[in-house]
Amino acid sequence: MKILAISGSARRNSTNTAMLQAVRAVAPSEIEISIFDGVGRLPVFSPDLEGENLPEAVRDFIDLIAQSDGVIIASPEYVRSIPGGLKNAIDWLVSGDEIVHKPIALLHASHRGDDMLAGLRTILATVTDRFACNIFLRLPLMKLEPAEVFKAVGAAENRSRVQAYLQAFSAYCLAGSKIA
């Protein structure tokens, strides 16, 4: 099972990116997690740049989506909304087929952020018919340094919650591949 985990944060010491790295470290051996933390490096979406003019960074991002069995998104909330970099990354995907039938689930690193999550859920339910709205995990990691995030995710209770989340998402991804 190949999962692409997308960090919606462009911050160098992002809690979301650290959480995804910690989740990868405790993932069951049958689940391979790759992390994309480059939303801030993608150029601003423009339909004029699609097709032959597609920037290499965008092409690489789209290829990562296409090669994955499923996508997990972890994002901070900025001003009660989705960060611009994450929205921009999603905009780059809407003209292609790579995201249309791709299973996607959310993972959240804060006790707050419900407005952003509601908006992101609406967007994801629009761009894919495989948004797993019921597969969701929230870990209270806000304001922790990356090393503290690893320690918190690795703690027995959180480790078992993360593994159950990943196994549920993996089963969801596999169920769809048998139908398709």
pLDDT range class, residue 180, cuts 50, 70, 90: very low
Q: How far is CA 109 from the centre of its chain?
A: 12
Note the pLDDT of residue 15.
Answer: 95
**C-beta of residue 18 within 8 angstroms of C-beta of residue 150:** yes
pTM of the model: 0.95
- The mean pLDDT of the chain is 95
Tell me, what DSSP letter sits at residue 105?
Answer: E
Average pLDDT, stretch 2-7?
A: 98
Token pair listed for 28:
């069951």
| Placement of tokens 């995030």 in the chain | 149
Tell me: pLDDT of 178 over 90.
no
What pLDDT digit, counting tens, does each position of 84-108 carry?
999 999 999 999 999 999 999 999 9
Average pLDDT, stretch 64-86?
A: 96
**C-beta of residue 7 within 8 angstroms of C-beta of residue 36:** yes
β-partners of residue 106 are: 73, 136
Tell me: pLDDT of 177 over 70.
no
Handedness of CA 63, 67, 69, 71 (dihedral sign): negative
**C-beta of residue 144 within 8 angstroms of C-beta of residue 15:** yes
Whole-number Å distance between alpha carbons of 179 and 176:
5
Pairing of strands 70-74, 2-7: parallel
Note the pLDDT of residue 176.
Answer: 75
pLDDT range class, residue 179, cuts 50, 70, 90: very low
Average pLDDT, stretch 139-155?
A: 96
Whole-number Å distance between alpha carbons of 174 and 103:
9
Helix, strand, coil in percent for the chain, rounding step 5 = 50, 15, 35
Three-state DSSP class for 39?
helix
